[in-house]
Structure formats: structure tokens, C-alpha cells
Amino acid sequence: MKVIPISQLLPGMFVQSVTKQTGRIKIKSQGWVKTQAGIDKLKNVGILEIEIDPDKTLIESVPEKEPANTPSPVTKRDPWQKTHSAEQEMGKAKKLYDEAKSLQIKAFKDIKAGRDIDIAPFRDLASGFMDSVFRNQDALACLTQMRQKDAYLLEHSINVSILISIFAKHLNIDKDIIEQLTTGALLHDIGKIKIPDAVLNKPGRFTDEEFTIMKNHARFSKEILQAAGLKGIAVDIAGMHHERLDGKGYPFGKKGDDISQYVRMASIVDVYDALTAERVYKAGMEPIKAFKILKEGCPDSFDSELLTKFIQCIGIHPVGTLVKLSSQKVGLVTQSNPASPLKPVVKTFYSAKHGRYTQVQDIDLAHKKSQDTLESAVKTNEYNIDLQRFYKNSILP
């Protein structure tokens, strides 16, 4: 545990207890501080000093390792650079997303018919995703949140592909590697088509026998891609995205150094998207709760340093997240703000105070004249909001 003054408390830290205060307010429970507004409330009630658990911090500064004996500095691209606005990019991003769904459906039909899948269109699509991410990652990031409850098998692989492309860009990975990562992610669950529907679509917990059957999908994915002529990083992601650092993953029981950085990245993104996905039988989890579960899996299952960088990459309130502001306006995060992650651009369309839809308004929380702050993430069922209708009417061109 570590005791710090309230001035050093940051969003993402885990508060264990209050150690010094001027008033008599009692903190009801331990937990993560989600927003700057929450910290301000603690300051306002007289909290002076708190005890935190550093091991549970969701976002922390990860120092870059200096390369030894480097003759000259290497100029890295800015991972946050945007050459297009989100509005300009959205049309292209939507076309790519729809194309990805069509490709997935065709691939499933080919496999069921006993035919090898054609890899070339997936490589082209991966290149398209990458180009879109480099123009403005917010457009595709927003589309990953437009989920249909009955389309998980199709959308999950697409979302993982988009998110790993954004993650790889953030890490300044070479573009040719990003294309391989994105291709592998697009096809990482293709082996599920060989799993019996009764197991694949079961809403409850698997029996031991059913789980054994389900675990084979990663092996099937690897075999399908190899038969289609793919190899290297893409095949590793397909076959090993359920491997874990302690060797307790599947299907091969790989561990430690036998699991590459790229597979470690894929495993984090795969679990994150699965936890936050809307399913017919399960509501999607808020990103901060998904981060908590992933954090609890470090270092046994997941790479701690990579997880921290992934959280830094997409933020506590990623693009596409439904949030409530201090003004009680409700809207979607539509543009990220790497310089100040808690001050993104939010497209508001609903009033929590009055319980009704409002005129659509873009609010830049970082603008000097903005009086609003981000209060919390919310779920659509809290206000009975039809988010799909809003996406179609206000987000998509």
C-alpha cells in the first residue's frame, strides 16, 4: 500500500482507505477512481490524504526503455496523428466494416462446403483497416461499439482486428507487421465454424465435455489458415490467442517466452472485446470493469506492461462509449483526446435530468469555455435509449 496526498490521486487508481481528512465523511467502500469529477468530490468534502494499492492501478506511466548504445535517435511517428476528421473517415470506415462482414460470411460458407478460404481479400481488408486507423482511428473505433446482439461471431473478429491495429499503431510497430496482425485477428476465430452449434451458441456455462470441444476452435483456426497458405504471425494469433503466460491456456499449453509479443497483444484485445460485447444472453461490460478483470489476470495470464499500454491506447472511456456528463447530458464519446483522456469530444442527444431526447450537440470537454465534465459511463437500459437508432441517424453518413 502507498499513502499519497489527494493532489496526487489520478483516475484509474485504486483507493484502499482515507488516512487524513478535515471532515467526518466516511468512504463507503474501496474501489477505483473513475473520473476527475470523482476526485474533485473527495477534495470538496475535505479528504486530504488517501491510501492506494499501486498493484491495482489501471492506468500508469510506463517508461520507455532506452536502447543501449544507439548511435542516433530514431524518429517515431506520432501514434495519435490524424489526417482526416472522424466525420470524413466514417463513410470509408463503415464500408470497410460491412465488407468485413460479407467476407466472414463467405469464408464460413466455404469452410462448411469443404473449400479452402481465399486469403487475399482478407489481406486487402486488413490493409484497408490499417489505412483507416492511420487516417483517423476514431471512426473504426466507434464502429466497434455498434454491436448487434445476434452477430457476435461475425463482429468479434472484426472488432479484435480493428482494436489490435489501433494498439499496434500506438506501439509504433512497423506497418507490414500491423497488416499481419490485423489479418490474423480477422481470422482468429474462423475455426469456430467447426464447433457444433449446440456448443457454440450455448448461453450458459459449458460442461467439462463441452469446454473441451470448444477449446478445439483455436487449433481448427490454425489448421484452416495453414491450409489456405497463410503462415507466420497471422497463424500464431489464430492458433495461440487463448494461450496464457502461466501455461494454463489452450490448446497447446504454451507459456512464458514461447508466447510472442504479438500473441500477447491479441490475447488482451480478444478478452477485452469479449467482455464488453453485447450478447443475446449477456449485457456488455463497461470498459473499466473489463480492464479490472484483465488486470487481475496479470502477470499469470496477461502481460502487465502491454495491458497498461493498451489501456493508455484506448482510454478508460473509449470512443463509442455512452457517458453522462456533469450537466446530466448523455451522449457518445466520438473523438479521443490523448493529451487529456478524460476530456474527449462527446456527441450528446439525451437529458438524464428530464428523461427525454434532446437536440444533438458536439461538446469538446477540453475546450476552454466548456463547463462540463465527464461524470461516468452509463448503460442504454438505464434510460431506455435506442442506441442503434441514434447511430444510424446521427453518427453514420
The C-alpha atoms of residue 21 and residue 7 are separated, in whole angstroms, by 13
Task: Locate the DSSP E strands across the chain.
Answer: 2-5, 14-21, 31-32, 47-52, 322-325, 329-335, 345-351, 356-364, 374-377
Cell of 236: 500464431
How far, in Å, CA of 147 to CA of 150, rounded? Answer: 9
Per-residue model confidence (pLDDT) at position 146: 81
Calculate the dihedral angle through the C-alpha atoms of 233, 235, 236, 241, rounding to the nearest 10 degrees.
Answer: 120
86-314 fold: Hypothetical protein af1432 (1.10.3210)
Distance CA 30, CA 19 (A): 13
Residue 250: how many other CB atoms lie within 10 Å:
18
pLDDT at residue 323 in the model: 94
Distance CA(205)–CA(366), nearest Å, equals 44
List the chain domain ranges: 2-56, 86-314, 322-395
b vs e for 270-289, b when ≥16 Cβ sit within 10 Å of the residue's Cβ? Answer: bbbbbbbbbeeeeebbbbbe
Tens of pLDDT along the chain (397 residues)? 788 888 888 888 888 888 888 876 666 567 788 777 778 788 877 888 888 888 777 754 444 444 444 444 444 566 657 788 888 899 999 999 999 999 999 999 999 999 999 999 999 999 999 999 999 999 999 999 887 776 888 899 999 999 999 999 999 999 999 999 999 999 999 999 999 999 998 888 899 999 999 999 999 999 999 999 999 999 999 999 999 999 999 999 999 999 999 999 999 999 999 999 988 778 888 898 999 999 999 999 999 999 999 998 998 899 989 999 999 999 999 988 877 888 999 999 999 999 999 999 999 999 989 999 999 998 888 888 877 777 666 666 5
**Short-list 273, 365, 272, 369, CA closest to 326:** 365
Question: Which residues are bridge partners to 376 per DSSP?
Answer: 324
C-alpha grid cell, residue 250: 489452450
